[in-house]
Structure 1
Amino acid sequence: MNSWLIRVLLLMVFCCHDALSCPKRCTCHFSTKTTEVVCPDAGLSHFPGNGLPGNTTSLTIQFTNLSVLTSQDLKAIPLLEELHLPGNKLSSLLADLLKDVPNLHTIDLTDNELQELPSQVFHHAPLLNLVLKDNRISSIHPDWIPIDSNLTWLDLSGNHLTKFPMAQLQKLNHLKVLHLSQNKLEELPVGCLDAHPALERLHLEQNKIEKLDVKAFSHTANLTHIFLQKNRLEMVPPTVFQGLDRLEFVDLHENRLKFLSPGTLDINTSWVELTFNPWHCDDTIEYLWRKLTTESLQSEPKCASPENLKDRAVATLTLKEMGLPEEAKQD
């Protein structure tokens, strides 16, 4: 190898030293377009600034004792696009946290100790995906997201929300996926989803919702999946799913449903989960029985009452057992 080539290679090594360095307790993956850094060491208690490549595009700090994160920490990695921070000890976020990462589109803060979201906390980055799952959030400032937000994925599941954050979500008209499961929501306010015409997947499972407004989904015609399992629904308005032509799946299992009104499941999909409801198998169950026996719904709900029919699959009932005249077969 001639001396000129050696000098060029040495120059490249020195020039790129910072870009190819890697912090202790972390692993770095380099490619022509991305630099990914993963720091999974439980002993880590501070931001791993020393040795962090300046061209980092994805940073993961997971299951550590990290409790503080500042904008100054992130300033050293201005090309950052994804920030994953699951399983740490963060209890608060600074309002200017993201001011020096103008390319950040994804942030995951799953399983931290966050309690409140301050004003303008997500104003400085063009976020598309925001995950705040399994924290302690009970309140959100109305101005936490900018007016021109392009957020498409929001996960607030596993928090302490008691009311649907209607005012806080009004600006998210590009939202496609909304996770509000495992909170303490008792109702869906009238019009709470009207600002989300692009919504495709709605997760409301494991709350305390007792009823649905007949127009709950009237402005969300793009919905494909609705998850309402493990709530306290005693009835479903018969027209609540009308107009949802793209609907592929509805989950209503483990509620308090005893019957379904005619028309409730007159929808395009047969993928409806209905198990573990207290179905009362008399003449009021006829509509559900017909849907199960003639349209092959992908569910096997069982009777909870009366006692003589308990644990019988609804689809196996006879007209006589439901208290219906045999001639009803000809209807």
Structure 2
Amino acid sequence: MLSKMFAIGISLVLCFALVILESVDAQCIGDRYNTMLSCWNIKKISRESLNKTFENCTSLHIINTTEPLGISAFRNMKNLIHLKISGDRIGLIFSETFKDMPHLKDVHIEFIKIGDIQESAFFNLPELEFVTIINMDIPFLRRGLFRNDPQLFSISFYNSNIHYIQNDPFYDVPKLKELFLDNNLLTVVTKDMLNKLTNLEILILSNNNISIIENNSFYQTPHLSYLDLMNNQLKELDWNMFPTTGMKYLQEIYLNGNQLMYLPSTFFNKTPKLEKFGINGNPWLCPCLRDIERILNENNIRELWSRPKSTDVSVQQPSPRIPICINRNVSNDICTNTYSEELSKKYWKYLEDYEDFFYKLPSEF
């Protein structure tokens, strides 16, 4: 039945395939006759069989394989446009697994236990635009994961337990506009993490454990317009994280749900085009919060209120819908630009005690 199905499928010019390896349900749709053929209870399809059988596929979904994806695993699938791999336990994606696929536009990988994605896993893919990797277990991202992918527009590593990113993981994707690294375990943004992303516009780093942003971290991203740092562990921001020339295109910054008590006085000098700013859920010192809100008002920057959220309830802190500040005494009206662990603990304890009250306050979004 398998060989008969394959023969018919190829004769109809295969355009879609669903392959479940180990316990397989393969579906083939002929694009000329709109015919679906299916085959059940196949124990296994080899990589050789996969390449030979589905060489005319434009869309492929692989489910539940236990084998690593080797070098040039899809080498004969020159017509492939859409590739999805899910529910697998493959352990490793080798270097050049996705290589020389001239029409591949998007890769979606999810719910896979992977110990490592090797360097140059995505290699020489001239039409690749989207890579989405979600719900994985990848301890770190290697240098040069992407090589010679000139049209790559968006990369997402969402909820993948990433602790660390080596220098230059994205150095060969000159047209990248969107980078999503949210819901991971990152603790630091290094000055080399975003190297050569000169066209990047959207950067999402929310819901990590980031406490340090190194100087010049955003030097290589001059066209950044949207920066999301919500729900991290930032206690201070050094204006030197931006280049000396400033961030001329940066329009939105979200700092909600951190540990910030003040911002350096020169912070807003580096963001002349800023339009929206999210600041609630931080233990601001009252004089510092007043200074921030004065600058926002003077420059017509919209202060956005949000209730910071986290997918990890174990680290979720009670957060008000509007900015709330704390002061050591009512007479203190000068922002000291000094972090106080003592006041921060009091702030969070106070919010926890009166959480219901603060949650009832109105929110803009």
- Normalised to the residue count of structure 1, the TM-score between the two structures is 0.71
The answer for the alignment partner of 1:329 in structure 2 is none
The size of the alignment, in residue pairs, is 291
Q: 2:251 aligns with which of 248, 258, 268?
A: 248
Q: Could you tell me how far 1:70 is from its partner in structure 2?
A: 5.5
Identity of aligned residues (%): 18
Q: Could you tell me how far 1:59 is from its partner in structure 2?
A: 1.7
Q: Could you tell me how far 1:125 is from its partner in structure 2?
A: 3.5
Work out the CA distance in 2 between the residues paired with 1:243 and 1:272: 17
Bigger Cα displacement from structure 2, 43-52 vs 79-88: 43-52
- Do residues 209 (structure 1) and 210 (structure 2) align? yes
SS state of the match for residue 92, structure 1?
Answer: strand
Q: Could you tell me how far 1:232 is from its partner in structure 2?
A: 1.3
Unaligned runs of 5+ in 2: 1-7, 19-23, 306-321, 335-365
The answer for the alignment partner of 2:278 in structure 1 is 273
Q: Structure 1 residues 53, 263: CA separation in 2 closer, same or farther (over 3 Å shift)?
A: same
- 1:43-89 Cα shifts (integer Å, max 9, x gaps): 9875596896643212234xx42333567874563310220123333
Q: Is the 8 A contact 1:101 1:125 kept in 2?
A: yes
SS state of the match for residue 298, structure 1?
Answer: strand
Work out the CA distance in 2 between the residues paired with 1:230 and 1:170: 27
The answer for the alignment partner of 1:133 in structure 2 is 134
Work out the CA distance in 1 between the residues paired with 2:43 and 2:100: 22
Bigger Cα displacement from structure 2, 227-236 vs 295-304: 295-304
Q: Name the aligned partner's letter for residue 324 of structure 2.
A: C
Q: Could you tell me how far 1:198 is from its partner in structure 2?
A: 1.2
Q: Is the 8 A contact 2:210 2:232 kept in 1?
A: yes
SS state of the match for residue 155, structure 1?
Answer: strand
Task: Tell me the C-alpha RMSD between the 2 structures.
Answer: 3.8
Work out the CA distance in 1 between the residues paired with 2:192 and 2:16: 52
The answer for the alignment partner of 1:195 in structure 2 is 196
Q: Could you tell me how far 1:189 is from its partner in structure 2?
A: 2.1
Q: Name the aligned partner's letter for residue 199 of structure 1.
A: L
Q: Is the 8 A contact 1:209 1:231 kept in 2?
A: yes
Work out the CA distance in 1 between the residues paired with 2:186 and 2:180: 12
SS state of the match for residue 304, structure 2?
Answer: coil
The answer for the alignment partner of 1:117 in structure 2 is 117
The answer for the alignment partner of 1:19 in structure 2 is 14
Q: Is the 8 A contact 1:44 1:65 kept in 2?
A: no
SS state of the match for residue 286, structure 1?
Answer: helix
Work out the CA distance in 2 between the residues paired with 1:285 and 1:14: 66
Work out the CA distance in 2 between the residues paired with 1:261 and 1:112: 42
Work out the CA distance in 1 between the residues paired with 2:158 and 2:196: 20
SS state of the match for residue 209, structure 1?
Answer: coil
- 1:143-163 Cα shifts (integer Å, max 9, x gaps): 5433x3323322233233333
Q: Could you tell me how far 1:223 is from its partner in structure 2?
A: 0.7
Work out the CA distance in 1 between the residues paired with 2:65 and 2:159: 21
SS state of the match for residue 77, structure 1?
Answer: coil
- 1:111-149 Cα shifts (integer Å, max 9, x gaps): 211111124432253343322332111244545433x33
Q: Could you tell me how far 1:14 is from its partner in structure 2?
A: 10
The answer for the alignment partner of 1:291 in structure 2 is 295
Q: Name the aligned partner's letter for residue 97 of structure 2.
A: L
Unaligned runs of 5+ in 1: 1-12, 309-319, 325-331
Q: Structure 1 residues 233, 15: CA separation in 2 closer, same or farther (over 3 Å shift)?
A: closer
Q: Could you tell me how far 1:221 is from its partner in structure 2?
A: 1.5
Bigger Cα displacement from structure 2, 160-169 vs 112-121: 160-169
Q: Is the 8 A contact 2:106 2:129 kept in 1?
A: yes
Q: Could you tell me how far 1:276 is from its partner in structure 2?
A: 0.9
- 1:201-236 Cα shifts (integer Å, max 9, x gaps): 112222222233443223311111111111111122
Work out the CA distance in 2 between the residues paired with 1:193 and 1:135: 22
- 1:151-206 Cα shifts (integer Å, max 9, x gaps): 33222332333333214333333322222223332222234334211111112222
- Do residues 303 (structure 1) and 324 (structure 2) align? yes
Select the structure of larger CA radius of gyration: 1
Q: Is the 8 A contact 1:45 1:65 kept in 2?
A: no
SS state of the match for residue 131, structure 1?
Answer: strand
Bigger Cα displacement from structure 2, 185-194 vs 103-112: 185-194
Q: Is the 8 A contact 2:93 2:117 kept in 1?
A: yes
Q: Structure 1 residues 97, 72: CA separation in 2 closer, same or farther (over 3 Å shift)?
A: closer
Work out the CA distance in 2 between the residues paired with 1:152 and 1:21: 24
SS state of the match for residue 155, structure 2?
Answer: strand
The answer for the alignment partner of 2:173 in structure 1 is 172
Q: Structure 1 residues 262, 22: CA separation in 2 closer, same or farther (over 3 Å shift)?
A: closer
Q: Is the 8 A contact 2:108 2:133 kept in 1?
A: yes
Q: Structure 1 residues 267, 19: CA separation in 2 closer, same or farther (over 3 Å shift)?
A: same
